[in-house]
Chain A
Amino acid sequence: MEWWEYLIKYGKVFLVGGAVCLIGQILINRTKMTSARILVTFLVLGVVLEAVGVFEYIKEWGGAGITVPITGFGSSLAKGAIDGSKISLFHAVTFGLASVSAGLTAAIVFGFLVALIFKSKPKKL
């Protein structure tokens, strides 16, 4: 790949990722949503986009711009479930969580370790 191809690729990632966060910020400004609700909303968005088959196209264009936001987490969940449904109902209901096990494990373990080491502090005004 040439350097300008990288530039275009990363530009696309920036645009898509920025746009996803921009929608989140508009929701916060307009509806006073808290961060838990924002995360839940975007996760469901990712699940729905994957389930109807649109996610793949956005990912092809925007790469990490759509997979690094929590929508990517939702998409993995839905993708796991869809893949599982091709095998049996048992796999359909369990493959979702299995497909995000890496992310969840990392979040729990790193969260645990960080909390053992660091202490929360009020910020300077």
Chain B
Amino acid sequence: MMDGKEYCEYVSKTAPKTSELKTLLPAFCIGGIICMIGQGFTDLYAYLLPEAEESMIGALTSMTMIFFGALLTGFGIYDKIGGIAGAGSIVPITGFANSIASPAMEFRKEGIIFGLMAKMFVIAGPVIVTGVVSSVIVGIIYTIVAAV
């Protein structure tokens, strides 16, 4: 019989591969379309609230996109989009909303506290931790640089 190393080489040579064209093209198109929708909301809010600052318009856009991401997850549509788009629907902020809403829905069965609330961040938790830690690092570096 062949040994493990030889077998692993055989498998990595013969295993079915992801078709590049079939995944890259939908990822590009759907990712681009989601961003265009985001731009649409930005322009809409800028038109409706001419007094608001840019950061508030940005925050409102994020919130709207997150709302639709969570809602489509609830209706069971987002994972169908994800099946076609791959990274095209993971990388936009709607994908972040999906990664929070989907475990919350899934673990709702174990109760609201230990299921829904406790398991809400099983996928998005690392994102929030990385974000906060890296922003603290950036803040400290900038403070040191400014002091020097």
| Pairwise interchain contact A114-B32, C-beta atoms closer than 8 A | no
Name the contact of B138 in the complex, choosing from A10, A20, A47, A114 (C-beta under 8 A). Answer: A47
| Pairwise interchain contact A100-B28, C-beta atoms closer than 8 A | no
- Quick check: is A110 within 8 A (CB to CB) of the other chain? yes
| Pairwise interchain contact A111-B23, C-beta atoms closer than 8 A | no
Chain B: interface size category: 35 or more
Chain A: interface size category: 35 or more
Shortest B91–chain A CB gap in Å is 4
Given A64-B61, A67-B58, A115-B105: A17 and B35 within 8 A (CB)?
A: yes
- The digit string for A9-46, where 1 denotes a CB below 8 A from any CB of B, is 11001111111111111111100000110111011100
| Pairwise interchain contact A120-B105, C-beta atoms closer than 8 A | yes
| Pairwise interchain contact B116-A39, C-beta atoms closer than 8 A | no
| Pairwise interchain contact B35-A70, C-beta atoms closer than 8 A | no
How far apart are the CA atoms of A87 and B23 in the complex, in Å?
Answer: 46
How far apart are the CA atoms of A66 and B139 in the complex, in Å?
Answer: 22
- The digit string for B27-68, where 1 denotes a CB below 8 A from any CB of A, is 111111111101100100000000000010011111101110
Residues of chain A from 31 to 83 with CB closer than 8 A to chain B in the complex: 35-36, 38-40, 42-44, 47, 50-51, 63-65, 67-74, 76-78, 80-82
Q: Could you give 10 example pairs across A and B, Cβ below 8 Å?
A: A18-B28, A18-B35, A22-B24, A39-B127, A63-B39, A68-B62, A70-B96, A89-B140, A107-B124, A111-B97
Extra 18 A-B pairs, beta carbons < 8 Å, given A21-B88, A114-B101: A14-B33, A21-B87, A21-B92, A22-B27, A36-B126, A39-B91, A40-B126, A50-B138, A64-B39, A72-B93, A81-B139, A104-B128, A106-B62, A106-B66, A107-B66, A107-B100, A110-B71, A123-B79
